[in-house]
Structure 1
Amino acid sequence: MVKSRTYANRGMQLEKLIEATNKMYRATGFADVKKVPTPVRITKNVGGRINGMVVKGDLVDFVGVCQGRAVIFDAKQTATRTSFSLSNIATHQYETLMSWWRQGAYTFILLYFSEHGEHYMLDMQVLSMYWQDAQRGGRKSIPYDVIASQCELLQASEDYQLHYLKVLE
């Protein structure tokens, strides 16, 4: 049997987990975080049949507010055991996160290492350091050991399936 090489639904489980947590955040009044819809340009509408194409967006996966502070992040999943490749982050995503971070928003990458079964909050200081180094010709990934030692390990907590905003309590 030939193994599928599509990445179309690679992060769906992670997004479902985040959405379940977001629903609880809204219900408890702790935060209001929403999935940013994928931008689509309609190219043709004939007899109720719509054709369109995905267009490059400026934002990341999720945006919201928690305890009066803006929250914006992207969700990424990797099957690699030893590192997280920076090629998984589009330049516009990094630039959006940096722009919001400079304005005081809580910004991060919610990262799932599927081989370890672990979720981490990759904060902007760690991401920025490795991103800038990669732009200067340095390493193009962040080692798992760095993420495990310098980033917040996320887990279920109380009623939240993945309490990724716990640090804002």
Structure 2
Amino acid sequence: MYKTFHKPKSISHANRGRHLERLIDMSNTKYRNAGLADIRKIPTPVQITKSIGSRIEGRKEKAEWVDYAGICNGQAVVFDAKETKGKSFPLANLHDHQYELLQSWYDKGALVFLLVYFSDVNKFYRLPFTPIQETWQAAKVGGRKSIPLATFERQADEVQSADGYALHYLLPFI
């Protein structure tokens, strides 16, 4: 008799960031409960197409926001959370509308960053807007279309769990 081995289920592209979002949501709840910050997940917009009793059908609308927005110490905070494999973050993972929103808020003085999880090395980084902007603009004129892990190691802050926070990504700001 042969033993059957099952391959572990792979994480679909759609669910890849789910773990990261859970960590952020747990931290956001703790920040809110401690009165330190109020950061909220921006829900994906859905257009309801049919409603029968308690059953609702709908379709996702074009997103025009990033994942999270809120306030910390009187300063607006806006960021997107991304997960990537490999040794670089592809700019294709950041959509034009997301970049434009980040740029707009940065120009108005908000705290703007990407929170990126590199699954191959199991590290989280908070990358400020400036290196994102530099790489984005260079890519538009034929430059590199990704941000290497080395840039995160040099210009981003590694984020870890600390002080009871699942992912203490606001640590230097509170």
Same fold per superposition (TM over 0.5)? yes
Alpha-carbon separation, structure 2, partners of 1:48 and 1:168: 43
Deviations 1:84-127 (A, max 9, x none): 10000010000001101111110111000011110001110000
Structure with bigger gyration radius: 2
Q: Does residue 90 of the first structure (1) align with residue 95 of the second (2)?
A: yes
**Residue among 139, 152, 164 paired with 2:157:** 152
For 1:42, the equivalent position in structure 2 comes to: 48
Structure 2's unaligned 5+ residue stretches are 1-5
Alpha-carbon separation, structure 2, partners of 1:23 and 1:48: 29
**Residue among 56, 60, 72 paired with 1:54:** 60
For 1:135, the equivalent position in structure 2 comes to: 140
For 1:31, the equivalent position in structure 2 comes to: 37
- What's the offset of the Cα at 1:149? 1.2
When the two chains are superposed, the root-mean-square deviation of aligned CA atoms in Å is 1.5
Query: Structure 1 stretches (4+) deviating beyond 4 angstroms?
Result: 1-5
3-state SS of paired residue (2:43): coil
For 1:114, the equivalent position in structure 2 comes to: 119
For 1:100, the equivalent position in structure 2 comes to: 105
For 1:70, the equivalent position in structure 2 comes to: 76
Which residue identity is paired with 1:98?
Answer: Q
Which residue identity is paired with 2:24?
Answer: I
Q: How many residue pairs were aligned?
A: 168
Q: Which segment is superposed worse, 18-27 or 159-168?
A: 159-168
Structure 1's unaligned 5+ residue stretches are none
Alpha-carbon separation, structure 2, partners of 1:137 and 1:104: 29
Which residue identity is paired with 1:154?
Answer: V
Alpha-carbon separation, structure 2, partners of 1:86 and 1:130: 8
- What's the offset of the Cα at 1:48? 3.9
For 1:8, the equivalent position in structure 2 comes to: 14
Deviations 1:42-62 (A, max 9, x none): 112234432211011211101
